[in-house]
Amino acid sequence: MNGKTALITGISGQDGSYLTELLLSKGYEVHGIVRQTSSLIANTSRLDGVYQDPHEPERRLFLHKGDVTDAGMLVNLVRDIRPDEIYNLASQSHVQVSFDLPEYTANVTALGAIRLLEAVRASGVDTRIYQASSSEMFGPAAPPQDETTAFHPRSPYGVAKLYAHWATVNYRESYGMFAVSGIAFNHESPRRGETFVTRKITRAAARIAAGIEKRVYLGNLEAVRDWGYAPEYAEAMWLMLQHDEPVDYVLATGRAATVRDFAEAAFAHAGLDWRDHVEHDERYERPAEVPELVGDAAKIGREIGWRAEVGWDRLARIMVDADLAALADRG
Ligand code: NAP
Ligand code: G4F
């Protein structure tokens, strides 16, 4: 035990699960907000490795039913837990979905952040806050993008993230809160949701190699992304809240590839030629695309010492291996 308490919104997501493991390993008491669904008490499969039964006397992981659209719930929870650190990872995080559900995305992703900031203010708790900002806020800005690059979001998701980002800056400047944004470029892992392009590709490559499927349908193959490895980004979030000063940082690898390059590498690692299995479907094209995101994370390297080690090609191999292993386990 290190005597510290953290609250994570979005604990059941990709990043939330890695951050939970990291904080538990550092001796934190970890609290997370999980959503009730019609068929499950909560979607907690990514937390299976660290889940603790409520009857466990030494328990350090606590899951609370809630939602970032419920302001009263957030105030009560922050007041009860009195966390030293809050990580706001809750979001409708899928860019394409945000074009179909723009108002819902704004409610969760933009207003969720301000509800949480207000909950901290209303409860009077002295806490440090991490806001999960996104490289999607840069839109078509020329790469490499860094902390000085002008924002130009190109999706309802990007617009919502920009609101949350500026709200975080504003609460820092207005109320002196230790509130910071990590402007994270794409980061992936075997726990990535199956509709994001990297996981869609690695899962398809594994299933095609196993003879379960024959092809996968993708949209724009020319988009360039700076794909990093999610556990390393969880470490950066934690480091930002340990820093002396509240400072916003870009989190990125600095290396990038096209969707086509990623597909080629993933299929090759599964022993396949991507050209035999990838087909185009325009339904996966977006009304407005972000063509090229490549981050320059020199500032956090200089000031905090964080650097991403895993680049997109190694990441593709890690994800294909995990998807192949999951199929083998299933028998
Ligand atoms: P993710 O896997 O989609 O996880 C999102 C989390 O938010 C899930 O736990 C989800 O719960 C929760 N959530 C959604 N709506 C909610 C609501 N109304 N109330 C409470 N919780 C809600 O996303 P991720 O990849 O881990 O990303 C974490 C954060 O970083 C997100 O804010 C994302 O937008 C941001 N980000 C991600 C990347 C990236 O490349 N991964 C890059 C930049 C920024 P359920 O499990 O119930 O759905
Ligand atoms: O994997 P994606 O859906 O990720 P996207 O849109 O870059 O957003 C992710 O990264 C952001 C950080 O920049 C996060 F803030 C956000 O929450 C999310 O985690 O798509 C990547 C690229 C896009 O250019 C998309 O048009 O892949 C292209 N793509 C091509 N075919 C596809 C597909 N994307 C998806 N999801 N599905 C396809 O079939």
Q: How far is the CA of 14 from the centre of ligand 1 (A)?
A: 7
Give the CA count within 13 Å in the CB-facing half-sphere of 303.
17
pLDDT tens sequence across 82-135: 999 999 999 999 999 999 999 999 999 999 999 999 999 999 999 999 999 999
The pLDDT value given to residue 2: 86
pLDDT tens sequence across 92-101: 999 999 999 9
Choose, from 98, 134, 155, 189, the residue flagged as catalytic.
134
The domains of the chain, with CATH numbers, are: 5-188+228-251 (3.40.50.720), 197-224+256-288+310-330 (3.90.25.10)
Exposed e or buried b per residue across 297-326, where buried means at least 16 C-beta atoms within 10 angstroms of its C-beta: bbbbeeebebebebbbeebbbbbbebbbee
Answer yes or no: are the C-beta atoms of 151 and 162 closer than 8 Å.
yes
Answer yes or no: are the C-beta atoms of 319 and 199 closer than 8 Å.
yes
136 Cβ inside 6 Å of ligand 2: yes
Q: How far apart are CA 181 and CA 165, in angstroms?
A: 6
Choose, from 29, 136, 232, 292, the residue flagged as catalytic.
136
Q: Which helix (H) or strand (E) covers residue 128, if one does?
A: strand 128-134
Choose, from 18, 87, 157, 163, the residue flagged as catalytic.
157
* Residue of 8, 87, 89 to mutate, ligand 1, most atoms within 8 A of C-beta: 89
93 Cβ inside 6 Å of ligand 1: yes
CB-based contacts of 225, cutoff 8 Å, min separation 6 = 185, 186, 256, 257, 259, 262, 293, 312
186 Cβ inside 6 Å of ligand 2: yes
Q: How far is the CA of 137 from the centre of ligand 2 (A)?
A: 13
90 Cβ inside 6 Å of ligand 1: yes
CB-based contacts of 60, cutoff 8 Å, min separation 6 = 1, 24, 28, 29, 30, 52
DSSP code of residue 270: T
DSSP code of residue 12: T
* Residue of 225, 250, 281 to mutate, ligand 2, most atoms within 8 A of C-beta: 225
Give percent above pLDDT 90 in the chain: 94
pTM, two decimals, is: 0.98
Checking if the pLDDT of 171 tops 80, the result is yes
Q: How far is the CA of 211 from the centre of ligand 1 (A)?
A: 32
Instruction: Name the pLDDT band for 151 (thresholds 50, 70, 90).
Output: very high
Q: How far is the CA of 272 from the centre of ligand 1 (A)?
A: 32
CB-based contacts of 160, cutoff 8 Å, min separation 6 = 98, 105, 106, 108, 109, 110
Q: What does the block give as tokens for 74?
A: 């957030």
Tell me whether residue 136 is one of the annotated catalytic residues: yes
- Atom 6 (ligand 1) nearest CA: 10
pLDDT tens sequence across 134-149: 999 999 999 999 999 9
CB-based contacts of 3, cutoff 8 Å, min separation 6 = 27
